[in-house]
Structure 1
Amino acid sequence: MSRRTSLFFLTAICMLIAGGAFLVTDMGGKTAASSYQEAQQYIKTGDLRAARVALMNAVKEDPKFGQALLAQARVCLDLFDAPAAQDALERAQLAGVNKDQTAHLLGHAYWLQGEWDAAERLLKSPSIPQANRPYALRILGRVQMDRGDLAAAQGSFDEAIRLSPNDSQIWTDVARLRFVQGDQRGAIDAVEYAFKRDPRNVRALEFRGRLMRTQFGVVAALPWFERGLQINPNDIPLLEEYALTLGDAGRYRDMLAQTRALLALDPNNAKAYYAQAVLAARAGNYALASRILAKTGSTLGDMPAAILLGAICELELGNFNRAVDQLQILLGRQPRNRQVRTLLALAMYRAGDPLGSLDIIREIASRPDADTYSLKLTALAFVASNQPERATNPIDDAAIAAIRTSLPLPEPETLDSAARAARQDPDNAQTILPYIRLLAAQGDIETALNEALRLQAGNGGVADAHIIVGDLEMARANLPAAIVAFQKARQISFTEPVMLRLVDALSMTGREDEARETLAAFLAYNPTNLSALRLAGYRNLDARNWDQAIILLERVRGRLGNNDAILLANLARAYSGARHHAKAVHFAEIAYHIAPANAMVTHIYGQALLQQGRRPKAAKELLQKAVILMPENTQVAAAFRRAQAAYRMSAKRQ
């Protein structure tokens, strides 16, 4: 060994013994300081996972590098890895970092892990340095939101903004609070301000995308998620929202690709498995959907959509009692959810409990806005419970091909208790709306409208405040005022209920061009929405646009299958109009087998056979039956006369 080589090894040994900033590692010869600097560059570019690795290297090279440990904790929190963040903070304290310097971050870690009491104690500590107080107050506000104390959360955010008025993260969380309070316009304003303060704030971009889904529709949300993913391609919440929104937009292959990307980053990601389960269910493979959903374990136990999907899978697989159990849990949490109530009634009916089914579906089927499916289910339950005579009215009502605007279900409280709550908090939309609905339900429309107008005046950013005014004006037959209210709601939150109300009101006043535009705009942003597709199909039927009606109604059938007699009967009408008589007879026959007592279905089946001209006797018999079911309908009577003439002509030819 040469003298020069010996000196080199001696120097290296001395450096290893001394340690410190010049420590050489087996990681490419980097020092703790250089790894830390590398991490800072990764953080600037949004590559938090690479930053985390660089910081782990820095800490490995110097376990007492307090600044690196604090940075590691912050990165872990941004990656929602609270246990790792807590571990880094505890190690930082052992390395000599003052506890007060870690309190805001440790409180954040406790909050993410659901330890709200411990989080609140730390975040309220008076010894937190002034520079860290806005952060601490922001996380305290999130804790208070989770507790349901929205007033306290508002106070925490207000104080945080006073201390740091341009903090983009604080404004993002203010937007979340306003959304929870029902102030959609205020939420949009806050998150847009957050985005202006920091265009690279991926949490602001994610939340703006979520708001866009309710403001305009799923297609409008996609660019916001994509913009966030350009900044941080590996951001888990962004990838989750993007994947689910792609599915809602009907882009199933893209959705699957995103879930695979998610699982590559996070092999146990429950929302990725949930999205794949949704995809399998939409393809009709409920066994696969159930198996995939099982991979989420208990992670999504409180997610209503996941509970609903599980119940639908059980229902489709014939496990009716299991479906009943899951849907009862969900209805307990969401007593005014129409879809859950209808599915529970169906599950009970199929489980052999028609009386229980009737008890559950009554709140929907007894209302003037009852949908066709709930009426049909009511009729089936009456028959199954040995009350066939009571099935007639629901069957007759279900025979009408219409999209009924669904009004909110009754409030689960009395008018007196709602009035007391309204007096105590007269400007809170969440408190006043139940009171107004109960007033309207008891027929006191004028008092309800006065309260609704007062609420609307003070809550211009709350879509429900405008919707309730529109509903009450509709009840008073004041359609122009109702349209104005619904249009205001549309500007804030263009949801399915708003669209249905607005299209209905515009059509009733003869403003068909505006109704068409409203429906087309909604469908452009929500291309897979079944109610909108069905409504557009029916409107094209009425306009005799047969080919367009076929396209729209076939898209609905592709999602629902051959189970809806009214849908299939109207699809038969469209095919008949387009002179595709064989297809018209095919779908009319299926509809008739599903609902042989339905007057409209019987009429359409007879009409399809009559137009095809191959079975005149069957056409005559079906239309005769339709006349018996609808003796005062002149169109049915005229069709029967034509069928009689066609039958006589065929008999002469023979």
Structure 2
Amino acid sequence: MTCTPEPARRRHGLIAALLLVAIAGCAGPAEREAPLGRAQEALARGDGVAAEAALRDALDAGVPQPELAASLGRAELLQNDLLAARQWLGPEKFSAESQGEGYSALGELEYRAGNLPASGRAFDKALAAGGESIALWVAIARLRYRGGEQLQAIEAADRALALGPDDPAALELRAQLLRDAGDMPRALALLDRALALAPDDSNLLVERASTLGDLGQARAALRDIRRLTELAPKDQRAFYLQAVIAARGGDFRLARTLLLRSGEIERRVPAAILLSAITDLENGNPEAAASQLSRLRRLQPDNARVTLLLARALAAGGANEELVYRFAIPARRDSAAPYLQLLVGRAYEQLGDRRTAALYLDAAARPRNSLALVPIAPDGSLDGARSRGAATPRDALMLVRGLVASGQGAEAVRVAEANLARAPGSFDALLLAGDAALVGGGPSAALAHYRRAAEIRLSWPLVERLLAVTRRTGEGDAERLLSAYAARAPMDGVAARELARLRLARGELAASAEPAARAIRLRPRDPAAWALRADQALAAGQASAAETYARRAFRLHRADPAIRRTLASALEAAGAGNPAAPLNVTLAQATRGQLARR
């Protein structure tokens, strides 16, 4: 009689549960079969304690240790006891029949321990031993993604889904990757399928609630959150999800309360720290917001949103000296955001240095294309970046930025392409190669890299790059790209604003109305969104509404010349329509004269 292993899937882990091989039943008396059966059932339902007890009974009954080592390691992993799991898995003493599952478990152990190269080697051994399974490919995909091989992770996830199109774990993983790529509707469809197969899976409920929230479907998200609390009353993720929904709805006090209950801040989750800072800022506690944003900026120095929020928090808290100390130099760069320049200029004004303030305020008011690409200056000198080389992704980033800023595009391309060759599936490497190609390799080469990066993660900064290069090369339709992204990410107010702006420029007034209204709803303090509404009102002949919107934009950003022009046009239109209001025409003329002097 030939006894062969029969693997089964364990839903709550990264890889397949290690079902005990039937050879044990062939090798000994019937009394050894009972604990093996109990262990198999316990592993299948994710009960590590019961599985370990049954497996130790099997050891006592005389089953050889190599036949049980893989399963005992799995049982310890289910209990999150990595040290005990290593005692069984580390020696790699598995029976021939259990090698595939043993190496799969070892790969998961190394993954949890943060030893990614060792995890990869163990998974390779599992495949070589014939241990291919849906769950193993799910584990490989997660390993590749975490290790910076995002394109290869997508390939592994597709392999898992091909092996098990109705496997909840494979569906969940592919949905997560689609969310990263900005395709929320397709991600939601996969999560719906997964939950139809496993309706009580808390991880799937969390994923679907998050996706529904990203799609702006708050009520549907709350239904999943309520279901989650019924199934797992102690699952604190429910509080975090509700905090995000409350913040999106503008209830920042409730968001703060829920966020504190979630425990995510104590666990130092970056997204939670950012949300906590935003709620503090909106609740009138800028000092606490600045403290949290300072910590987050140390973790994510290239996160432009964190930088701007920190500057805003310092300004709101009256910390003008610190604001100038931190951001006076970055705000002088051509790549600096106008908002940062405006805040630094106002800080100098508060400190009594009006001459320096004028330099920053003039820079903030300088006309610029909202989708123009400006090289990001590096932190530090080019000589310093050269001395460090480009052995790490961070060093490569700094060196390429320095080369681009100094006009050495050809060398920037060489460094970026070498970095990409070391990590051909990395989002960051593809983005860097695209940026370098835009300067030294041509826009078509840049577009190819950006499109590959978009397969992994599609965010507004990447969409900006794609739009700018698409317009420069004529390859593709900018409106189609922007419309597709805005549909996939309906909670992105900047994308909605730019879509409305593009449609208005083409004379499509009616088509621009919905995205413009959405931009205002999502970003009520965005001066550009209010100026756009004023331009729409002017195009529709609604002078009074145009004046209202333009004044709102002007109060938010007085230095922006585009907003000043919109205000002048709105005032003039309102004055022309109302002979009893000559003041509007006078103000419009004064505004135009001020612009001319600039």
Please confirm whether the aligned pair reaches a TM-score higher than 0.5, indicating the same fold: yes
1:144 corresponds to: 110
Residue by residue over 1:334-381, the C-alpha shift from the partner in whole angstroms, topping out at 9 and shown as x without a partner, is 222111222122222222212222344457533433334333323332
Are the aligned partners of 2:138 and 2:160 in contact in 1 as well (CA < 8 Å)?
Answer: yes
Of 483, 490, 494, the residue aligned with 2:447 is 483
Equivalent in the alignment of 1:472: 436
Q: Confirm or deny: 8 A CA contact 1:609 1:619 kept in the other structure.
A: yes
Cα distance change, pair 149–127 in 1 and its aligned pair in 2 (3 A): closer
Q: Per-residue deviation at 1:289?
A: 0.8
- Identical residues among aligned pairs (%): 27
| CA–CA distance in structure 2, aligned partners of residues 364 and 254 of structure 1 | 43
CA distance in structure 2 between the partners assigned to 1:543 and 1:394 by the alignment: 33
Q: Distance in 2 between matches of 1:180 and 1:430?
A: 16
Aligned match of 1:156: 122
Measure, in 1, the Cα distance between the counterparts of 2:561 and 2:388: 49
User: How much does 1:147 deviate?
Assistant: 4.1
Cα distance change of structure 1 residues 347 and 45 upon mapping to structure 2, 3 Å threshold: closer
Q: Return the offset for 1:577.
A: 0.9
Question: Displacement, 1:540?
Answer: 2.1
Query: What is the aligned counterpart of 1:552 among 483, 493, 515?
Result: 515
| Structure 1 residue 584 displacement after superposition | 1.3
1:451 to 407, 410, 415: 415
The one-letter code of the counterpart of 2:584 is A
**Aligned mates of 1:119, 1:442 — CA distance in 2:** 53
Whether contact under 8 Å (2:493, 2:523) holds in the other structure is no
Q: Which residue of 2 aligns with 1:247?
A: 213
**Displacement after TM superposition at 1:504 (Å):** 0.8
Match of 1:502 in 2: 466
**Within 1, Cα distance between the matches of 2:50 and 2:386?**
48
Contact 2:571 2:587 in 1 (8 A): no
- How far the C-alpha of 1:312 sits from its partner, in A, is 0.9
AA of the residue aligned to 2:469: A
Q: The residue matched to 1:295 in structure 2 has which SS?
A: helix
Cα gap change, 1:396 to 1:130, in 2 (>3 Å): farther
Look up the equivalent residue of 2:187 and give its one-letter code: A
**Contact 1:134–1:160 under 8 Å retained in 2:** yes
> Unaligned regions of 5+ residues in structure 2, if any?
1-5, 14-30
Paired residue secondary structure (2:302): coil
Query: Taking structure 1 as reference, are residues 111 and 579 closer, same or farther at Cα in structure 2, changes over 3 Å only?
Result: farther
Q: Which amino acid aligns with 2:218?
A: Y
Distance 1:482 1:183 in 2: 20
| TM-score, normalising length: structure 2 | 0.84
Residue 356 in structure 1 maps to residue 322 in structure 2: yes
The aligned counterpart of 1:527 is 490
Q: CA separation in 1, counterparts of 2:382 and 2:301?
A: 15
1:368 to 321, 330, 334: 334
Which residue, out of 15, 31, 39, partners 1:70? 39
Where do 1:231-310 residues align within 5 Å? 231-297=197-263, 301-310=267-276
- Aligned residue number for residue 352 of structure 2: 386
CA–CA distance in structure 2, aligned partners of residues 182 and 252 of structure 1: 32
Q: Which of these residues, 578, 582, 590, is aligned with residue 617 of structure 1?
A: 582
Return the offset for 1:586: 1.3
Contact 2:376 2:405 in 1 (8 A): no
Task: Give the corresponding residue for 2:28.
Answer: none
> Which of 333-342 and 91-100 deviates more?
91-100
Q: Is 1:518 matched up with 2:486?
A: no
Evaluate the alpha carbon distance shift between residue 100 and residue 299 of structure 1 in structure 2; reply closer, same or farther with a 3 A threshold. farther
Structure 1 unaligned residues grouped into runs of 5+: 1-39, 49-61, 78-83, 634-654
Change (3 A) 1:44 1:192: closer
Give the 3-state SS of the residue equivalent to 1:630 in structure 2: helix
How far 1:294 moved relative to its partner?
Answer: 1.9
Deviation at 1:145, TM superposition (A): 3.3
Q: Which moved more, 1:228-237 or 1:113-122?
A: 113-122
What secondary structure sits across from 1:631 in the alignment?
helix
Letter in 1 for 2:509: W
When residues 378 and 87 of structure 1 are mapped into structure 2, their CA distance, relative to the original with a 3 A threshold, is: farther
Cα pair distance change 1:274/1:126, threshold 3 Å: same
- In the alignment, residue 480 of structure 2 is paired with which amino acid? E
Contact 1:69 1:89 in 2 (8 A): no
**Equivalent-residue separation in structure 2 for 1:436 and 1:460 (angstroms):** 17
Measured after TM superposition, the shift of residue 102 of structure 1 is 5.5
1:45 offset after TM fit, Å? 12
Task: Label 1:498 to 1:320 Cα distance change in 2 as closer, same or farther (>3 A).
Answer: closer
CA distance in 1, matches of 2:390, 2:454: 26
Contact 1:469/1:482 (CA < 8 Å) preserved in 2?
Answer: yes
Question: Do the aligned partners of 2:332 and 2:360 also contact (CA within 8 Å) in 1?
Answer: no
Structure 1 residue 333 corresponds to structure 2 residue 299: yes
Query: Which residue identity is paired with 1:232?
Result: A
What is the Cα deviation at residue 227 of structure 1? 1.7
Shift in CA distance, 131/373, structure 1 to aligned 2, threshold 3 Å: farther
Counterparts of 2:328 and 2:117, CA distance in 1: 37
Higher mean C-alpha deviation, range 433-442 or range 550-559:
433-442
- Cα contact 2:35–2:57 (8 A) shared by 1: no
Secondary structure of residue in 2 paired with 1:233: coil
Which range is displaced more, 534-543 or 98-107?
A: 98-107
Deviation at 1:236, TM superposition (A): 1.6
Change (3 A) 1:89 1:339: same
C-alpha separation in 1, matches of 2:517 and 2:436:
35
How far apart, CA to CA, are the structure 2 residues paired with 1:542 and 1:276? 38
Shift of 1:438: 4.4
Counterpart residue number, 1:593: 555
What amino acid sits opposite 1:495 in the alignment?
S
| Distance in 1, Cα, partners of 2:87 & 2:119 | 15
Contact preservation (8 Å) 1:66, 1:92: yes
Give 1:449 shift.
0.7
1:519 alignment partner AA: L
2:503 is the counterpart of 1:540: yes
The counterpart of 2:537, out of the listed 545, 560, 575, is 575
Partner amino acid, structure 2, of 1:470: G
For residues 263 and 235 of structure 1, the distance between their equivalents in structure 2, rounded to whole angstroms, comes to 12
Aligned position for 2:370: 402
Equivalent position of 2:23 in the other structure:
none
Structure 1 letter corresponding to 2:543: H
Query: Structure 1 residue 447: deviation in Å?
Result: 1.4
Any idea what the Cα deviations from partners look like across 1:248-268, whole Å, max 9, x if unmatched? 111111111111111111112
Whole-Å separation in 2 of the counterparts to 1:419 and 1:355: 33
Q: Which of 220, 223, 229 in structure 1 is aligned with 2:195?
A: 229
Q: Aligned pair 1:201/2:167, yes or no?
A: yes
CA contact (8 A) 1:246 1:254 kept: yes
Q: Distance in 2 between matches of 1:290 and 1:325?
A: 16
Q: Which moved more, 1:566-575 or 1:365-374?
A: 365-374
Q: CA deviation at 1:386?
A: 2.7
Amino acid at match of 2:370: A
Distance 1:406 1:211 in 2: 29
Bigger mean CA deviation after superposition, 222-231 or 292-301: 292-301
Across the two proteins, how many residue pairs are aligned to each other? 566
State the SS of the aligned residue for 2:262.
Answer: coil
Root mean square deviation of aligned Cα: 3.4
Larger radius of gyration: 1
State the alpha-carbon separation in 1 of the partners of residues 360 and 441 from structure 2: 26
